[in-house]
Structure 1
Amino acid sequence: MSTFTLKMEIADNRHYNGQLSPLFTAIEAEKARAFHQAVEGYQPTPLHSLDCLANVIGVGKILVKDEAYRFDLSAFKMLGGAYAIARLLCDEFSLDINAFDFAKLKNDITEKMTFATATDGNHGRGVAWAANKLGQNAVVYMPKGAADERVNNIRALGAECIVTDMNYDDTVRLAIKTANENGWKVVQDTAWEGYTEIPTWIMQGYTTMAAEAVDQMKAMAVERPTHVFLQAGVGAMAGGVLGYLCEQYGPDKLHSVVVEPDNADCIYRSGISEKGEMVNVNGDLETIMVGLACGEPNPIGWPVLRDCSTQFVSCQDSVAALGMRVLGNPLGSDPRIVSGESGAVGAGLLAAVHFHPEKEQLMAKLGFNKDSVVLLINTEGDTDPVHYREVVWGGKHQTI
């Protein structure tokens, strides 16, 4: 077998204390899931078992929650955006979220609201989708370099989409400023002083996929995962999902690894900081993992990751590219998984460890053995199909 070395900085979390979050409980997750189940076209996304890959790598099982099948949006983000917009409208019109009805509310609303957000693509598409379903307006800001496909997908849902000449975090600031000037509602998956309720709802919306995965593992007779790999941008998805899984299984029984691109590794840098304080990353944040190109941690997600994560990983783009190729070209009877750049980084990390000349040491560092059950989340399909082909067919971002 050939070996090669990709950059993977793996740091143990020295700030771990196992304290559970009161925000991401089974009760809150069931509220969110009940809402999603009432949306027309809802189906749980698949949980694939890659048994052949697990055998080659040397673990007991690899499970992939495949969000490429989430409604017709090919990404998990709508779970948060739609849930937050529904909660906002319930507050505005004194409605019960447990009896939320898209069709009825769309007909009853006489004055349209405008929802604004900043996005790399998937979150904005989810907000645009929910606004469209409810007959509302959406204005979506995107950072420089946004792929045409992602822009067009948002505009096709009737939203205004504005591509800036700024990085993601500065684009967030622009969206907030413009929304405040125009009286729009900001639906953003990060938090700041005075803005915590909406991002909390968004993160609680993300727990639907974790709750589905727990049920699906039970149906497979899998008692629990021993490991979970969670990719992080601001850390909203990672924080919400990890908070829920730790309540389900206990943080001491779950080896959790948070993975980021090395050019936007604010969670990793926060994790290795002396006191566990949030650390921002500046600059262009250039990475193929555009969904993770965020330089400022979410203040709601970070405490969960600080308290309950086992390890933090900062890796180069080629790790994600490797994951895209591994998932798209399966071994034996394993199913083919179409995964975008941000969705594939967990699988890429597994593969990069397997091909590393120091595999045994890395496997030990990550706590792997022949009985390990590894849960990955493919957060997106080929939402940028041109780049997907460039990586999977054209060999862009080579490993050797």
Structure 2
Amino acid sequence: MLRITENPFYNGEADPLFTVAIAEEAHRFHAKIPGYAETPLVSLDKLAAKLGVKAIYVKDESKRFGLNAFKVLGGSYALGKLLAEKLNLSIADIDFSKVSQQLPQPLTFTTATAGNHGTGVAWAAREMGQKAVVFMPKGAAAASVNRIKGLGAECIVTDCNYDDTVRLASKTAEEQGWTLVQDTAWEGYEQIPTWISQGYTTMAAEAAAQLRALGVDAPTHIMLQAGVGAMAGGVLGFFASLYGADRFCSIISEPDTADCLYQSISSASGERVAVGGSLNSIMAGLACGEVNPVTWGLLRNCGNAFVRVKDSVSATGMRLLGNPLKGDPQIISGESGAINAGLLYALATSSDQDVRQAKERLGINEHASILIFSTEGDTNEDRYRDIVWNGAWPL
């Protein structure tokens, strides 16, 4: 069901790429976008009592700009930075509604995606009067393809896995003179992925302010899911800058079929390890086999524990959040969004001795106040119903 490894390379060092000041800049940019509103931070008091912890707080990203996922934060910020650079402006001077009038012709942005990132790039390009071409891996959900096309982007489904689709998008962008807006990095391609990860810090900055409004100075635990690690690294970097990494325990989770971070932290050297194969998982947004080098150093420095889980753990999280205990609010969370709700339940209820001992060492007990990010809603409605209504992928 799950495997946990505690990080032997932890040193608590923050990263200057992910600071409170940078998050504030990203937040100001997003706050100017028409339709911006903070997404809710929900307290699940009854579930916390049931699982034997002090508090559970869930940041519900299904409400982000009407796009049902958080990824638009990274794509829009990167496009804003790119256009500001093109026009020799500060990002503070970028106006979504007027930027297209300042260019002689629209630019074409391209990316590879499992769904949510491409949706964000397509939406931001449309809102700023630009063009987008989105590549998706083999087996991409029809709902995701149609959503991206509905935003005015061209969508191309490949016959290869996610990481090979990234390589194809990069090659095509170079050949066509397009701008690649990818949420992972490699040698020679670091700036745009850095901006994308920095864009995600808006979500973290909102959560920190919402916690303070509830009288919570800092959570004791922060649970973050990872594909390439772009979101996990950016958000963890913000909280390490805000609180100090030693003030909370961070737990990084991913599918067991695409466990590149788990394998990397488990290696003797702590260097990045790539995972190959089909990478099949219901958690499409996390089904990535290669770690983002921009955020890996921060995750290795500040991540306390890394966990690989079966799809059934995420499915259980979807059912828990969608069918709450009486008195708790309902959260519609998709496969990639619900992984940590399911993981917390599995940790709290497991009879496996190794898991129980790890839970104790990580301090998941009656004193724990836990922050979770539900990063997407029901982006694949048919699968959501199959899991939540029909009980697919039981724990």
- TM-score in terms of structure 1 length: 0.97
Offset at 1:332? 1.7
Task: Measure the CA separation in 2 of the matches of 1:135 and 1:381.
Answer: 27
Task: Measure the CA separation in 1 of the matches of 2:279 and 2:92.
Answer: 39
The structure 1 residue matched to 2:218, chosen from 220, 224, 228, is 224
| Alignment match, 1:369 | 365
Task: Measure the CA separation in 1 of the matches of 2:24 and 2:135.
Answer: 31
The structure 2 residue matched to 1:298, chosen from 292, 296, 299, is 292
Give the counterpart letter for 1:132 in structure 2: R
SS in 2 for 1:103: coil
Offset at 1:108? 2.6
Q: 2:386 matched to 1:395?
A: no
The structure 1 residue matched to 2:52, chosen from 50, 58, 68, is 58
Task: Measure the CA separation in 1 of the matches of 2:340 and 2:394.
Answer: 17
- In the TM superposition, structure 1's runs of 4+ consecutive aligned residues that sit over 6 Å from their partners are none
Q: Which runs of 5+ in 1 are unaligned?
A: 1-6
Offset at 1:222? 0.7
SS in 1 for 2:66: coil
SS in 1 for 2:223: strand
After superposition, where does 1:40-79 map in structure 2 within 5 Å?
Answer: 40-79=34-73
| Alignment match, 2:326 | 332
1:311-359: per-residue Cα shift (whole Å, max 9, x none)? 0001110000000000000012110000000000000001112332247
Task: Measure the CA separation in 2 of the matches of 1:183 and 1:363.
Answer: 50
SS in 2 for 1:71: helix
Task: Measure the CA separation in 1 of the matches of 2:358 and 2:7.
Answer: 16
Equivalent pairs, count: 393
Maintained 8 Å contact 2:281/2:311: yes
Task: Measure the CA separation in 1 of the matches of 2:36 and 2:231.
Answer: 20
Q: 2:201 matched to 1:198?
A: no
Task: Measure the CA separation in 1 of the matches of 2:53 and 2:236.
Answer: 21
| Alignment match, 1:3 | none
The structure 2 residue matched to 1:265, chosen from 255, 259, 279, is 259
CA RMSD of aligned residues (A): 0.9
Identical columns (%)? 56
SS in 1 for 2:254: strand
| Alignment match, 1:4 | none
Offset at 1:95? 1.5
SS in 1 for 2:390: coil
1:145-174: per-residue Cα shift (whole Å, max 9, x none)? 100100000000110000001000000000
| Alignment match, 1:114 | 108
Offset at 1:107? 2.5
Task: Measure the CA separation in 1 of the matches of 2:24 and 2:356.
Answer: 40
| Alignment match, 1:91 | 85
Task: Measure the CA separation in 1 of the matches of 2:359 and 2:11.
Answer: 24
Offset at 1:109? 2.2
Offset at 1:99? 1.8
Task: Measure the CA separation in 2 of the matches of 1:332 and 1:11.
Answer: 34
| Alignment match, 2:380 | 384
